[in-house]
A and B are shown apart, each in its own frame.
Chain A
């Protein structure tokens, strides 16, 4: 289906120019050169076309042919996506390895979705049904427990004239026939969708359910809503990847799309080797059975890195359309922006800030706009939440990618080098971070826990900002100059920092805190504060509070009390009562 559309006239890295047909479309997928490397038309002028090539161009010559396909760059959608690992243009990496060995060769072509594998399929429509785009025609079991809802292509509608009975089918087997006007159309489980075009939905709903991640500083302090967008900027080694891995492991989403965009090979390998062995506490199944991986590492072709973000988000939207909650992680969006810059530079476009093209902000906006909690075409509800890592040069947040990203997200998790150096993890700075979803998700917390989470959370934040003010003074004159009531604040904030905010991703008990555990911890620390404050106000010296044995226990509770034995927090509270009670009695007169 491909025909000659031009001859190459110029090559520079991932960008080539060619001369030929005037009928090539903007953003059309083309095959470049005799090796038929995958490329995309990114500029047209008269009979000149500019193409970005998704594979290494070394060895390519001028005069080689470009072949058109008539289609935009698209992904294949259907059962088999889950548990897959693809490169940025959806080439299946395991098949490439089988075919050409440990190193990625260019020109290797494989179907993104297996044509042979059979799926257990049950129809959900019958002959005579009127169906429209997005409607669920049937379900295929994508894993033992995951229902892949096979939908009619968003652009189609008509009357069902035939359906396949329950059985096992490949993605090429017909599962229904449809009368669309005069035409009859055969439907299979396989669809294509152009990656740069958002998949349609009916309308957006309010985002008022938090995406629970089990990370205390996120859920309790800076929550992101399902369908929301969060940015996690930070210098190298501050914890972007570890945080994203933690979210990918623990978030209460039904599908995870993880995009390793211009980052390390070993990090993707880590996910690949770890996720099949980690059990999702909700489904009881391996985490891999809800995960789609896109790996376009830093040493893989840069144009495919640019595409990887779109490949990932399109897959995420597809599962959203089925009525699932999907969480997408992109590590790192800065590398994607740099890919834009690199291609733009080769095109000699006018740069805006720091060499980035002027359309950087627009592209970022388009990407984050694809997050959302929506009413789907088929009436179901689903969401795509986006967590994008940002890698600012020199850790300086004033650079263009961080600044523009800030405009399009509502949740900002600012990583801090000095916290990371002191091994305070997650090194998310509580004073620089914010969430605009706080009010939206307050109700959910109340219904779930019966407690006023927001008030407690705000109280804790108040103490932390008070601490920041006090530590300025301490730095100048030492802690002894502070009155005991202020030093009591410092005692409590130490508990908040070390007991609550710090969370070790590598330790079994601490890695994931349930919502209930989080609220109990928060409550306990604030309780400690109120009681301590009362006693100090009566004149008890602060070191007596500092030395209470229960303090150490509270700090250690995160890793000594697991999610199933929360009654132990009652015991801790009793210990506070008992130890503080004694002091209280002593200083009552």
Chain B
């Protein structure tokens, strides 16, 4: 939004109190809750903020750029009378914006008269279409056992130093509308991509930019960047700005939009910081009690609605502090999103890429996008069987570490073999490898065939008949 578009509004000279990024402005009348303000410091520099609380003769204002350099008497606050809006236009694809939606690529302001409220509005559940179409990402651990659907929100739970950026970039590069196993590869419908960076290093933003360029996607990408050295408070707006554009593209222009938000942990920290400055009663680990509702107001801006062909699919990336999945950020995220892809240290150390830890990973919508008429009939049971077998492998490994591998029964030995092969052949794939769904299913069956038929109680007998390639002759 340009500073020149909205003129006027009441101006107050001087503020009552400054605490961190929060100003308390006194003597302002008719202030609206959540309205945008423009703050001018004593040198005439502008920054923007938002009203967090209004009283009879005061308003609490959060300054996006922080309060460094603001003085009690020298600060002027102008109340602009409206909530925060950003311009939205199709031509914003291919452009780069700051965390508040201002262009930073040297190009002009987007030419449009459509401005949309960054807070959005809740989608009426009756207006939604339940997601059913799967997205082929070419990655076995996703397509095979944690299938992503159009209109789903599926975060990557990772940790510092793990290749979540690569995985996200690979997903974005390879994503195409799924098809029946065995059907010919058609020209993939292309996604528009909205990328929001919150507090990540410049390298990370650069990495994605390069990756988009190399895959020729750059013209389909809008980037909203709030980097590590940008003001933390601005981070609270960045994903909202990005999602506001995504909603416009999906629901008004009928596009399929893939939204990548990284790193949600930094977003949560900004929220916590403001809450603490305001002296709010914290819930867990100092995070505000409304963290769940706040995150939901972002993640729920995903999906499909009946009046549009388009869809919003979200892939938030979140580094878990101390790899702790029970930390409030991953925990509350998991409670809102429709599953999670969890990356694990051990696999990463073992050189497995992508190091997707399959057991805690989940796609809740998978069941509605796979199987007969969508991927292949056996897919749901095949997936459950792989899970069950790999879970059993973990028990066997624990036992082996106590009594030694040689002491294991024949069947347990086979589970060990299965587990190793599963990690090396199914989970592991090259960064450039784009597996078809039938290839993924085939690898899975090959691995299941390591086990005796009798162990495969999750799949049907006729499926065993059809796809089992092992040497077990029983039954």
Q: Which of A's residues lie within 8 Å of B, judged by CB?
A: 9-13, 56-63, 85, 93-94, 96-97, 101-105, 235-237, 260, 262, 264-266, 268-270, 272-273, 295, 297-300, 302, 335, 338, 341-342, 345, 348, 351, 354-355, 391, 393-396, 417, 420-424, 474-480, 498, 504, 506, 547, 549, 552, 555-556
Write out the residue numbers on chain A whose beta carbons fall within 8 Å of the beta carbon of B46.
Answer: none
Whole-angstrom CA separation of A489 from B158 in the bound complex: 41
Most buried by A among B33, B367, B402: B33
Write out the residue numbers on chain A whose beta carbons fall within 8 Å of the beta carbon of B129.
Answer: 269
Whole-angstrom CA separation of A478 from B407 in the bound complex: 8
- Contact: A58 with B126, CB < 8 Å? no
Q: A101-B127, A477-B402, A549-B475 are in contact. Are A12 and B53 (CB under 8 A)?
A: yes
Whole-angstrom CA separation of A271 from B164 in the bound complex: 34
- Contact: B126 with A299, CB < 8 Å? no
- Contact: B125 with A393, CB < 8 Å? no
B192-200, B234-242, B277-285, B424-432 - interface stretch: B277-285
Q: A104-B122, A237-B339, A342-B293 are in contact. Are A354 and B284 (CB under 8 A)?
A: yes
Query: What's the minimum C-beta distance from A541 to chain B, rounded to whole angstroms?
Result: 13
Q: A104-B121, A391-B335 are in contact. Are A266 and B284 (CB under 8 A)?
A: no
What per-residue 1/0 map shows which CB atoms of B41-54 lie under 8 Å from chain A? Answer: 00000000000111
- Contact: A236 with B335, CB < 8 Å? yes
Interface residues on B, range: 35 or more
Name the residue on A nearest B300 (C-beta).
A299
Show 13 A/B contacts (Cβ-Cβ < 8 Å), sorted by A: A58-B83, A61-B31, A63-B30, A101-B307, A102-B124, A102-B305, A264-B338, A265-B300, A269-B125, A299-B301, A355-B289, A393-B284, A423-B387
CB of B340 within 8 Å of the partner chain: yes
Name the residue on B nearest A242 (C-beta).
B364
* B300 CB contact (under 8 Å) in A61, A237, A298, A302: A298
CB of B4 within 8 Å of the partner chain: no
Query: What's the minimum C-beta distance from A469 to chain B, rounded to whole angstroms?
Result: 16
Query: What's the minimum C-beta distance from A12 to chain B, rounded to whole angstroms?
Result: 5
Q: Which of B's residues lie within 8 Å of A, judged by CB?
A: 29-35, 52-56, 82-83, 119-131, 151, 251, 280-284, 288-290, 292-293, 296-297, 300-301, 303, 305-307, 326-328, 331-332, 334-336, 338-340, 359-360, 362, 364-365, 367-368, 380, 384, 387-388, 391-392, 398-399, 402-403, 407-409, 454, 457, 461, 475
Most buried by B among A394, A396, A506: A394
Q: A299-B296, A341-B283, A423-B387 are in contact. Are A102 and B56 (CB under 8 A)?
A: no
Write out the residue numbers on chain B whose beta carbons fall within 8 Å of the beta carbon of A269.
Answer: 125-126, 128-130
Query: What's the minimum C-beta distance from A109 to chain B, rounded to whole angstroms?
Result: 15
- Contact: B300 with A355, CB < 8 Å? no
Q: A302-B290, A395-B326 are in contact. Are A61 and B33 (CB under 8 A)?
A: yes
* B126 CB contact (under 8 Å) in A13, A97, A395, A498: A97
- Contact: A103 with B122, CB < 8 Å? yes
Name the residue on A nearest B408 (C-beta).
A478
Q: A421-B359, A423-B387 are in contact. Are A85 and B289 (CB under 8 A)?
A: no
Most buried by B among A13, A265, A266, A394: A266
- Contact: B399 with A474, CB < 8 Å? yes
Write out the residue numbers on chain A whose beta carbons fall within 8 Å of the beta carbon of B398.
Answer: 475
- Contact: B281 with A103, CB < 8 Å? no
Query: What's the minimum C-beta distance from B113 to chain A, rounded to whole angstroms?
Result: 20
Write out the residue numbers on chain A whose beta carbons fall within 8 Å of the beta carbon of B332.
Answer: 393
